Amino acid sequence: MDAIVAVYSDWGIGARGTQPVVLHADRAHFREKTRGAAVIVGRRTMEDFPGGRPLKGRNNIVVTRQEIAIEGAEVAHSTEEAVELAAKYEKCFVIGGASVFRQFFPYLDRVEITKIDLAPPSDSFFPDLDADPDWICAEEGEWQEENGIRYCFCTYERKKEA
Ligand SMILES: NC(=O)c1ccc[n+]([C@@H]2O[C@H](COP(=O)([O-])OP(=O)(O)OC[C@H]3O[C@@H](n4cnc5c(N)ncnc54)[C@H](OP(=O)(O)O)[C@@H]3O)[C@@H](O)[C@H]2O)c1
């Protein structure tokens, strides 16, 4: 399973339920990568989407412990249930937030990371894959700039067991 995430230079991913700095280029990259795929998303992150609704053009699997129905999404009440629901789709991305990334981490073998060269205060973090010997940066794009903020798109892969 894949994940896609934008990280600041301290691997922070957000504060107080939202992303303090968002780049248009990252949003476009996210839309392109996830179009037509399934996405696994935490209920809190979904509430930060436009209108607090699931994303259009993707098969949304929202994880929540609540007994609720969400229009435009399948609801999963555990990681296992989400993984089962995702199995019928060809491609699935875990798209956050922090608690969801943490719990699905063992299922991940590839992560699309937008590195943003800035460190606004975060209260949510993604695991530092540069410090994890099980992961390798398989592809690092060129550093680019948007409104004076440097960013680059990277692909990390879990090392295969020898
Ligand atoms: N930088 C990025 O790319 C990126 C991407 C996404 C999110 N974020 C950031 O991440 C932060 C939000 O992360 P978060 O950890 O607070 O919230 P979250 O992971 O989006 O959602 C947490 C909610 O998901 C549900 N949940 C989690 N684990 C579950 C499980 N095992 N079974 C059933 N339900 C489960 C619960 O919902 P209920 O309370 O309804 O039970 C829980 O309250 C925000 O700051 C957001 O901006 C950043």
Give pLDDT tens digits for 90-115: 999 999 999 999 999 999 999 999 99
Q: What is the DSSP secondary-structure string of 135-155?
A: EEEEEE---EEETTEEEEEEE
pLDDT in tens, 43-77: 999 999 999 999 999 999 999 999 999 999 999 99
pLDDT tens track for 103-148: 999 999 999 999 999 999 999 999 999 999 999 999 999 999 999 9
| CATH number listed for the domain at residues 2-158 | 3.40.430.10
Cα–Cα distance for residue pair 79/89, rounded to 1 Å: 16
Q: Is 54 in the pocket of ligand 1 (CB under 6 A)?
A: no
Ramachandran assignment for 88, one of left (phi > 0), alpha (psi -120 to 50 degrees), beta (any other): alpha
Ligand 1 mean position, distance from CA 76 (Å): 13
